[in-house]
Structure 1
Amino acid sequence: MTDTGIIELQANQPEARPYRGGSGIARFRGEPQPDAFRPEDFLGSTTEVHAGGGVGLTRLPDGRQLREAIAADPIGFLGTASPSASAGENGLLTKLLSTDERLFVHSHPSDEFAREHGLGCTGKTESWFVLDVAEGSEPYVLLGFSREVAPAELADWFEQQDVAAMVSAMHRIPVAPGDTFHVPAGVPHGIGPGLTLVELQQPTDLSILLEYTGFPGLDRDSALLGMPRDRALSAIRRAAVPHAELAALRENRTALGRVQRLFPAAADPFYAAERVRPGSADAILRAGFAIIVVRAGSGEIRTARGAVAAAPGRVFLARHDAGELRIDPALDLVVCRPAEDAA
Structure 2
Amino acid sequence: MTLYRLPANTPRSFYRGDGRIDTFRGTRPADDPYYPEDWIASTTSRFGAAPTGLTTLPDGRSLAAAIAGDPLWWLGERHVAEHGADPAILVKLLDTGERLPLHVHPDRRFATAHLASPYGKTEAWMIVSAEPGAVVHLGFARDVEPDELAGWVTDQRIDRMLGATNRVPVRAGDAVLCPAGLPHAIGAGVLMVEVQEPTDFSVLLEWEGFAVDGRVAGHLGLGYDLALACVDRSGWGAERLAELRRARHQAADARPGVRRLFAELADEFFAAERLRPDPVSVLEPAYSVVVITSGDGSVEWEHGAPVPVGAGDTLLVPYAAGWCTLRGDVTAVRCKPA
Question: TM bucket by the smaller chain?
Answer: over 0.9
**Does the CA-based 8 Å contact 2:257-2:282 persist in structure 1?**
no
Amino acid at match of 1:283: S
1:228 CA drift (Å): 2.9
Q: Does residue 195 of the first structure (1) align with residue 190 of the second (2)? A: yes
Displacement, 1:215?
1.4
What's 2:285 paired with? 287
CA contact (8 A) 2:94 2:194 kept: yes
Q: 2:118 aligns with which of 87, 112, 121?
A: 121
Give the secondary structure class of the aligned counterpart of 1:152.
helix
State how far apart, in whole Å, the 2-side matches of 1:323 and 1:186 are. Answer: 36
Which runs of structure 2 are paired with 1:91-240 in the superposition (5 Å)? 91-134=88-131, 137-240=132-235
Q: Shift of residue 103 of structure 1?
A: 0.3
Contact 2:206 2:214 in 1 (8 A): no
Question: C-alpha deviations, 1:207-235, integer Å up to 9, x for none?
Answer: 01110122113331311222232211111
Mapping of 1:1-343 within 5 angstroms? 3=1, 5-15=2-12, 17-21=13-17, 23-34=19-30, 35-80=32-77, 81-82=80-81, 84-86=83-85, 89-134=86-131, 137-255=132-250, 256=254, 257-279=256-278, 281-305=279-303, 306-339=305-338
**Kept after mapping to 2: 8 A contact 1:12/1:41:** yes
**Rounded Cα–Cα distance in structure 1 between residues aligned with 2:181 and 2:54:** 25
Is the CA contact (8 Å cut-off) linking 2:291 and 2:334 kept in structure 1?
A: yes
Q: How high is the TM-score relative to the length of structure 2?
A: 0.94
Moved more, 224-233 or 199-208: 224-233
Structure 2: tracts of 5 or more residues without a match: none
Alpha-carbon distance in 1 for matches of 2:3, 2:226 = 44
Name the Cα RMSD after superposition: 1.4
Matched residue count: 330
Deviations 1:237-295 (A, max 9, x none): 1100121110010012235442110111010101000001243x112110110100001
Deviation at 1:197, TM superposition (A): 0.8
Work out the CA distance in 2 between the residues paired with 1:160 and 1:32: 40
Unaligned runs of 5+ in 1: none
CA–CA distance in structure 2, aligned partners of residues 79 and 73 of structure 1: 10
SS at match of 2:161: helix
1:298 counterpart SS class: strand
CA–CA distance in structure 2, aligned partners of residues 90 and 221 of structure 1: 31
**Residue 23 of structure 1, CA deviation:** 1.4
Supply the AA of the counterpart residue of 2:10: Q
1:40-99 Cα deviation digits (max 9, x unpaired): 10000100010232111110010000000001111111013448533xx21100000110
* Normalised TM-score (structure 1): 0.93
Matched letter for residue 174 of structure 2: D
For the residue of structure 2 that corresponds to 1:21, the secondary structure is: coil
Instruction: Please give the alpha-carbon distance, in whole angstroms, between the structure 1 residues aligned to 2:325 and 2:171.
Output: 28
8 Å CA contact 1:22–1:33 kept in 2: the answer is no
Name the stretch that deviates more: 112-121 or 152-161: 112-121
SS of 1:104's equivalent in the other structure is coil
| Separation (CA, whole Å) in 2 of partners of 1:205 and 1:317 | 21
Residue 315 (structure 1) shift: 0.7
Report the secondary structure of 1:68's partner residue. helix
Q: Give identity over the alignment, percent.
A: 39
Give per-residue Cα distances to partners, 1:133-168, cap 9 Å, x unaligned: 24xx52110000001111111011101101111111
> In 1, Cα distance between the equivalents of 2:72 and 2:222?
39
Letter in 1 for 2:182: V
Moved more, 24-33 or 249-258: 249-258
CA contact (8 A) 1:22 1:40 kept: no
Q: In 2, distance between residues paired with 1:254 and 1:27?
A: 33
In 2, the alpha carbon distance for the partners of 1:337 and 1:202 equals 11
- CA contact 1:283–1:329 (8 Å) conserved in 2: no
- State the 1:194 CA deviation: 0.8
Q: Distance in 1 between matches of 2:221 and 2:49?
A: 15
TM-superposed CA distance for 1:24, in Å, is 1.4
